[in-house]
Structure 1
Amino acid sequence: MKFRGPIAVSLLAIGVSLGLGGAVQAQSITQALTAAYDYAPDLQSALLNAKATAENIAQAKSGKLPTIGASISGSQNLSLNNGDWTSSQSLTTGLSYNQTIFDNGQTDAQIEAARAGAEAAEYQIRNTEQNVLLEVVQAYMNVLSGRQLVALRQENINFYQAQLQSARDRLEVGEGTRIDVAQAEARLAQGQASYRSAVGGLETSVATFQRYVGAKPGSLSTTHNFNRLIPRSLDAAISEAETGHPAILAAKAAIRAAQAGSDVAEASFGPTAKMTGQIGTSWTGPNGGPRDGITGSLGFNITVPIYAGGAIGSSIRKANLQQIKSEVDAMSAYDQIRAAVISAWAGIQSADAQISAAQSAVNAGTTVLNGVIQERDLGTQTTLDVLNSQAELTTAREGLINASSGKVIATFSLLAAMGRLTAQDLGLPVEIKTAVPYTQAVEDVWAELRTIED
């Protein structure tokens, strides 16, 4: 049997997904991102961390508010004297009040630091969100391109099997040689090894996809409408990243927190004034008759530090260094984001060029392979020439698959570098994970008292 006729090559054939058993539900990039957003443990962890950080606000604000307590105590006393038992009881109740009325602004600075920390934690949610969604896109495209490579390499095996059979048929009729058969057998073995390698890579990609999305991938497609978020120029992309990337916004919040921390250290070496109050009543009986009484006291305490063994000066210097460090970290964040934008932008341009070159190579390779097969059948080319032409075409087709996948990943990488790879920017149908409502709730420090009253 001879392998004759032109070979039709299309991206549609390359993109056929492997069957998963039964009907497979279509799954777009948007659907995968939506499922991952609801499932991602890393994102849930960032949300919980932001809520826990918000509690620092309530704890800091408690420094300016009073602490009120109630107490009750009692005793029963028995004594034996000359054969007679006597007893007495006592009961005491009271309320206490303590409040710092002046601390040189230390508590106000602590509140500001806590609020800045909560804001930074909120931006960290957005940063984690971007990282998770980008990893989902990468896993999605790895599965899609992995399936395409498996399908392509299976097609390659089929081709080599046909060439091997053709070589054997030609040998039987005296038109071929044993060398042709051996070369076809070797290429078939290489093709089978490449196929198994592609299957292994696909299995790994599927496991990674399931880790992020929480479900196995269905029938995937590269179709999306997120290119509308890409600006028309690199300068516009950099400008947008510098003003809206969550990592940069978190760095700015960290500077505020460090500045407030410096204020806390400076305020700690200053006078403080506290006020205390107590009121209570007591009852004693029966010996001497019952007696009821009400007692109360009101006091204050003013403390002026004079020398703290160098601890205060050290704390101030440390806080100032941390403030400088936060500013340096912010500069580093700017540089990293800017570099990420430029890299992603260049990645898109490079992917476009690679796709164009690979498509041309596929078209040319298809023409060459068809021609070489026809010439081999006429005796002017050898089986080795056919095998080499097929290998070159397969390499070009694999390059097209990789370039197409790289273009999608580079597009989403640019969105992430700009700070636009968020559920809100993408318009995902999800409830946005944010700690803002929780932070607003913990600002109400009187809620604890109202709970007691209820």
Structure 2
Amino acid sequence: MDRRCWLAGLTAIAFPASAMDLKEAWDLLQYQGPIYQAAIHEKEAGLENRALGKAGLLPQINATAYQNKVNGTQDRGAGDEDLDYDAKGAAVRLRQPLFNKLKMADYRQGKQRADYSVAVFDAKSQDAAVSLSGRYFDVLLARETIALAKSKLKAFEEQLASAKRRYELGEGTVTDVDEATARRDLAQAELIEAEDSLLVARRLLQEYLGEVPDTLASLRTSFPTPPLEPGNLQDWLVKARTDNPIIHARRYSHAVAEEDVNKAKAGHWPTLDFVAGYTSGKSETLSTLDQRNNYGSVGLEVNVPIYSGGYVSAQSRQAVANRDKAQEELNASREEVISGTTREFRGVQSGATRIRALEKAVTSGERSLDSTKKGFLAGTSTNVDILNAEELLYTARRDLFEAKLRYLTSRLRLAAAVGALGDDDIDQANAYLGPELAVSE
């Protein structure tokens, strides 16, 4: 790709021309989100464990050099002779492990640590996508709550003005005025709370993205709820046990702990190394002014541990306990994943049903409010009845909006539970967004 096109693409991600949607927010998170970038660097560091583990099985070559000034005396029988000469030289030494159970365990553990870091990154990446969508939706919910709170406040202010006029004309009661005043004051308090919630929600989204635009894409009016594929919970549980990245990470963590046991027990085993070296030196002595020494050596070196004060045995017992701990953590993670998968599966299914029910509740609430207002004019309904109908309609509309967001979140969490959350799932959730919504006050 041309460098100018690449830079233009990054600029478009960082500064979208129109309202930012969930897909653009996800792209921006991967581009500059500090939490996501930290996870990338953590994975990169973890991948180096492969090379670290392998290094112990490869030849170790060391070179040394020295240059000394020797001063002193030497007793030669007939008297002491002064020593004053230079000594210098260099040596190269190669050591190649031939049998070393500790280093073999290090090698296997290095691969497992690298795989563990990849699994952890996968888990954090999917968790980041879920958390991002949650924070994005929290901003939308807070902004929608403000809009509904303002609408309710306006309606209650109109009802208060109407109650006051009727009271002044002798057609109403002071109770109607007091009730309308109390509802108006409560609506004002709810509006203030909603504005505070928007401020906090925007800040939490900025914490993830590094920035927040003034407008976001909000929910479309149409909201289909297609059935899950597969539609059987057991199929999802099988996928979760097999592909969930947290379970993968726990498995690798247990494998790492198993190698710690092998490393600890390796302290009882001998080691065998191939050793080769070459030394070159030059010095002046009393008997020669220019003595040179050049020699090489090749051989095998065996190291047999005999007794270390009980250190190896204690370390082995400690490693076994840590391995058993890792096994129990793996078991606990499996149970947590099964519970989470079940919860989100039910959340999607019941969420779809709840959305349909709340849509009917909003429609019924609108009819009820209209009927109550007509009944008020006919004298069959009171001012309090209107206030109650307004309150119920506001609650139904907010609950419906929240239910839609929770439905989308459950679908994303369900995909994450089985290790399948990716760009296609973000795109599917993003398809529900469209209208621009100002999120700055």
Q: Which residue of 2 aligns with 1:386?
A: 386
Q: Which residue of 1 aligns with 2:76?
A: none
Match of 2:206 among 195, 205, 210: 210
Distance 2:227 2:116 in 1: 29
Distance 1:225 1:70 in 2: 71
Q: Which residue of 1 aligns with 2:121?
A: 125
Q: Aligned AA for 2:96?
A: Q
Q: Which residue of 2 aligns with 1:99?
A: 96
Q: Secondary structure at the match of 2:48?
A: helix
How far apart are residue 148 of structure 1 and its match? Answer: 0.9
Match status 1:27 vs 2:5: no
How far apart are residue 283 of structure 1 and its match? Answer: 3.5
Q: Aligned AA for 1:254?
A: S
Counterpart contact for 1:271–1:303, Cα < 8 Å:
yes
Cα distance change, pair 66–225 in 1 and its aligned pair in 2 (3 A): farther
How far apart are residue 383 of structure 1 and its match? Answer: 1.4
Distance 1:427 1:379 in 2: 53
Q: Secondary structure at the match of 1:220?
A: strand
Counterpart contact for 1:227–1:411, Cα < 8 Å:
no
How far apart are residue 330 of structure 1 and its match? Answer: 2.0
Q: Unpaired segments of 5 or more residues in structure 2?
A: 1-15, 73-82, 429-441
Deviations 1:252-303 (A, max 9, x none): 2223223322222333211222344332323346995544442333454323
Counterpart contact for 2:54–2:110, Cα < 8 Å:
no
Counterpart contact for 1:168–1:181, Cα < 8 Å:
yes
Counterpart contact for 2:56–2:107, Cα < 8 Å:
no
Q: Pairwise mapping of residues 20-419 of structure 1 onto structure 2 (< 5 A)?
A: 25-75=18-68, 89-103=86-100, 105-217=101-213, 218-222=215-219, 231-284=230-283, 290-419=290-419
The sequence identity of aligned pairs, in percent, is 26
Distance 2:34 2:352 in 1: 35
How far apart are residue 190 of structure 1 and its match? Answer: 1.2
Distance 2:226 2:253 in 1: 32
Q: Unpaired segments of 5 or more residues in structure 1?
A: 1-22, 80-85, 429-454
Deviations 1:391-417 (A, max 9, x none): 122222222122122212211121121
Q: Which residue of 2 aligns with 1:452?
A: none
How far apart are residue 240 of structure 1 and its match? Answer: 1.6
More divergent stretch after superposition (296-305 vs 377-386):
296-305
More divergent stretch after superposition (49-58 vs 335-344):
49-58
Counterpart contact for 1:149–1:398, Cα < 8 Å:
yes
Counterpart contact for 1:153–1:191, Cα < 8 Å:
yes
Q: Aligned AA for 1:253?
A: Y
How far apart are residue 424 of structure 1 and its match? Answer: 7.7
Q: Which residue of 2 aligns with 1:18?
A: none
Distance 2:32 2:238 in 1: 32
Counterpart contact for 1:60–1:114, Cα < 8 Å:
yes
Q: Aligned AA for 2:207?
A: R
How far apart are residue 427 of structure 1 and its match? Answer: 7.2
Distance 1:425 1:384 in 2: 46
Counterpart contact for 2:340–2:417, Cα < 8 Å:
yes
More divergent stretch after superposition (246-255 vs 314-323):
314-323
Cα distance change, pair 374–143 in 1 and its aligned pair in 2 (3 A): same
More divergent stretch after superposition (126-135 vs 90-99):
90-99
Cα distance change, pair 141–116 in 1 and its aligned pair in 2 (3 A): same
Q: Secondary structure at the match of 1:92?
A: strand
Q: Aligned AA for 2:329?
A: D
More divergent stretch after superposition (233-242 vs 415-424):
415-424
Q: Which residue of 1 aligns with 2:436?
A: none
Deviations 1:409-443 (A, max 9, x none): 21112112121224587579xxxxxxxxxxxxxxx
Cα distance change, pair 56–413 in 1 and its aligned pair in 2 (3 A): closer
Counterpart contact for 2:275–2:298, Cα < 8 Å:
yes
Report the number of matched residues. 400
Cα distance change, pair 308–151 in 1 and its aligned pair in 2 (3 A): same
Q: Secondary structure at the match of 2:199?
A: helix
Distance 1:29 1:156 in 2: 29
Q: Secondary structure at the match of 1:26?
A: coil
Distance 1:106 1:89 in 2: 42
How far apart are residue 208 of structure 1 and its match? Answer: 0.9
How far apart are residue 135 of structure 1 and its match? Answer: 1.0
Counterpart contact for 2:34–2:209, Cα < 8 Å:
no
More divergent stretch after superposition (240-249 vs 324-333):
324-333
Q: Which residue of 2 aligns with 1:6?
A: none
Distance 2:69 2:321 in 1: 60
More divergent stretch after superposition (232-241 vs 417-426):
417-426
Q: Secondary structure at the match of 1:221?
A: strand
Taking structure 1 as the reference length, the TM-score comes to 0.79
More divergent stretch after superposition (133-142 vs 318-327):
318-327
Moved over 6 A (4+): 223-229
Cα RMSD for the two superposed structures: 3.1
More divergent stretch after superposition (390-399 vs 227-236):
227-236
Q: Aligned AA for 1:268?
A: G
Q: Secondary structure at the match of 2:420?
A: coil
Q: Secondary structure at the match of 1:240?
A: helix
Distance 2:416 2:245 in 1: 10
